[in-house]
């Protein structure tokens, strides 16, 4: 027996019962009775839409199990299976204890059969707080967590959440389906929270003041300048790399009181806070070769050598830093032909040791993570030359020219560069005689690699 015939028996029984045994005590009851009887007549004539309107009117005037049963039947005949199922659920919830065993059995059977005419959908949404809608109708957070019944048909499921791109899917739901719909939203921005150590401190993002003390909001992917400042204190400045979907919490601390801090970073003019600065230190390793040799020495063989050292300094502005340099190295050249006057031709190898101490000016261009770097430096160099039986020493000045690229990984600095040393050679003497008379300088060229620490980075 189908859904229609099963609920039809409930309707006829209720109609007879209501007409024979009900006593309507007031106008509302009388009006409800009239609507009920009209609904029965319209239903028997096949006007299910009119009957539904009459039964709903009767239910409004005087709620009863009979009206709900007949509303469910009309909805079924109109192929509105989901509202019919919801109406029978309400009937069981509100009047289940008052139904006769026969009516209760009929209602349970109708619910089972209607369940085969509707589908059930379970939503799985990420992030969990996203707002879900079905065919443009938003669901409450509680409703979205429960299984959802839907009549057979095509539905558009959509999810939206702050800092995420909306996503939607169109699915066809058939009767009896038990489906899981997954909606995974792609993050578009990061959620950032900033809690200053002083509630009166101003917060600026990308040089724009946004709040005092606390700020929470979205930031698009990229690198952002965060500043916290207060008159009379050293400001806090950092750059924050942001990725879509990040949740970033910052708790910046203002520096100690400083009478000049208010002029360099006041809330009224955050643009005066300039780029990163601070101390840095680098360990260096260079591979260099001399281009000129001592008098009377010729060699076409490959020569090998290098130097190691340390550099340290302070970055005063975004584009300028000053640093000190200590570098120790040795080059081994040859074997080659050594033909001094009044001596037989011989093959030998010479070694040139160098110790450099000086200062550099470093020019920087580019961003917080990667930049170009050039170095100009001068200082003192001490040479020691070992050539056969000759051992000569001397100290003069040098000039350094260097071009390369520098990178930050947090506070870690990495650098690669091409370099040239121009070193004085006139002071290198043996028994008072110059070893280099054809040239007054020794050019040394090569490449260098550095690794170290930069205070302006961010872990």
The CA-CA-CA angle for residues 424, 427, 432, to 5°, reads 160
Please choose, from the candidates 321, 343, 320, 346, the residue with its C-alpha nearest in 3D space to the C-alpha of residue 335: 346
Please choose, from the candidates 103, 106, 77, 92, the residue with its C-alpha nearest in 3D space to the C-alpha of residue 17: 103
Note whether 74 and 51 are within 8 A (CB): yes
Could you give all domains of the chain from N- to C-terminal order, each with its CATH number? 3-115 (1.25.40.10), 118-187 (2.60.40.1120), 190-270 (2.60.40.1120), 278-454 (2.40.160.20)
What pLDDT shows up at residue 121? 92
d(CA 246, CA 107): 52
Tokens at 112, concatenated: 């089972």
pLDDT more than 70, % of the chain: 88
Number of Cβ atoms within 10 Å of the Cβ of 174: 12
d(CA 112, CA 115): 5
**The total number of residues written for the chain in this structure:** 459
pLDDT in tens, 367-402: 777 889 999 999 999 999 988 788 999 999 999 999
Determine the angle formed by the axes of helices 3-21 and 27-44, rounding to 10 degrees: 140
d(CA 192, CA 241): 11
Tokens at 341, concatenated: 């006057």
What pLDDT shows up at residue 215? 92
What pLDDT shows up at residue 105? 87
Q: How far is CA 391 from CA 2, 72, 167, 365, in A?
A: 115, 113, 79, 44
Residues of the chain with pLDDT under 50: 1, 3-25, 259-274, 459
3 state SS of 290: strand
pLDDT in tens, 145-164: 889 988 888 999 999 988 88
Please choose, from the candidates 32, 46, 33, 39, the residue with its C-alpha nearest in 3D space to the C-alpha of residue 11: 39
Please choose, from the candidates 221, 132, 146, 233, the residue with its C-alpha nearest in 3D space to the C-alpha of residue 183: 132
CA 106 to chain centre: 57
d(CA 412, CA 371): 14
How much is the pTM? 0.44
Tokens at 391, concatenated: 């051992």
What pLDDT shows up at residue 457? 62
Name the DSSP class of 98. G
Beta-carbon-side half-sphere exposure of residue 457 (alpha carbons within 13 Å): 17
pLDDT in tens, 186-214: 888 888 999 988 888 999 998 889 999 89
What pLDDT shows up at residue 265? 43
The residue behind tokens 């001596």 is 343
What pLDDT shows up at residue 337? 83
Per DSSP, the chain holds a count of helices (H) and strands (E) of: 8, 27
């Amino acid at each position: 027996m189908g859904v229609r015939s099963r609920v039809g028996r409930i309707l006829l029984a209720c109609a007879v019962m209501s007409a024979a045994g009900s006593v309507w005590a007031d106008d509302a009851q009388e009006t409800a009775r009239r609507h009920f009887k009209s609904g029965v007549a319209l239903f028997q004539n096949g006007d299910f839409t009119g009957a539904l309107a009459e039964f709903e009117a009767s239910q409004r005037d005087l709620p009863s199990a009979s009206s709900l049963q007949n509303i469910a039947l009309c909805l079924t005949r109109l192929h509105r299976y989901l509202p019919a199922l919801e109406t029978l659920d309400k009937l069981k919830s509100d009047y289940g204890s008052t139904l006769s065993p026969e009516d209760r059995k009929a209602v349970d059977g109708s619910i089972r059969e209607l369940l085969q005419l509707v589908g059930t959908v379970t939503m799985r949404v990420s992030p969990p707080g996203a707002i879900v809608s079905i065919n443009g109708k938003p669901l409450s957070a509680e409703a979205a967590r429960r299984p959802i019944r839907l009549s057979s048909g095509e539905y558009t499921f959509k999810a939206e959440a702050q800092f995420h791109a909306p996503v939607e899917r169109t699915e066809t739901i058939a009767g009896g389906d038990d489906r899981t719909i997954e909606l995974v939203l792609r993050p578009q921005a990061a959620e950032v929270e900033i809690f200053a150590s002083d509630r009166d401190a101003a917060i600026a993002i990308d040089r724009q003041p946004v709040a005092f003390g606390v700020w929470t909001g979205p930031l698009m992917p990229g690198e952002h300048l965060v500043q916290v400042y207060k008159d009379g204190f050293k400001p806090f400045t950092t750059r924050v790399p942001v990725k879509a979907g990040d949740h970033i919490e910052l708790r910046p601390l203002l520096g100690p009181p400083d009478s000049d801090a208010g002029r360099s970073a006041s809330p009224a003019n955050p643009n005066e806070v300039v780029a990163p600065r601070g101390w840095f230190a680098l360990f260096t390793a260079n591979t260099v070769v001399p281009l000129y040799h001592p008098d009377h020495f010729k060699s076409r063989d490959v020569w090998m050598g290098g130097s190691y050292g340390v550099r340290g300094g302070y970055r005063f502005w975004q584009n300028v830093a000053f640093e000190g340099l200590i570098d120790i190295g040795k080059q081994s050249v040859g074997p080659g032909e050594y033909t001094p006057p009044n001596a037989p031709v011989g093959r030998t190898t010479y070694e040139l040791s160098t110790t450099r101490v000086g200062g550099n000016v470093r020019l920087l261009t580019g961003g917080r993570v990667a930049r170009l770097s050039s170095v100009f430096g001068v200082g003192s160099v001490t040479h020691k030359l070992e050539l056969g039986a000759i051992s000569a020493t001397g100290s003069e000045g040098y000039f350094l020219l260097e071009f390369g690229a520098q990178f930050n990984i947090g506070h870690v600095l990495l650098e690669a560069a091409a370099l040239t040393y121009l070193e004085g050679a006139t002071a290198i003497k043996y028994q008072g005689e110059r070893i280099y008379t054809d040239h007054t300088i020794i050019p040394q060229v090569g490449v260098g690699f550095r690794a170290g620490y930069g205070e302006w980075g961010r872990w």
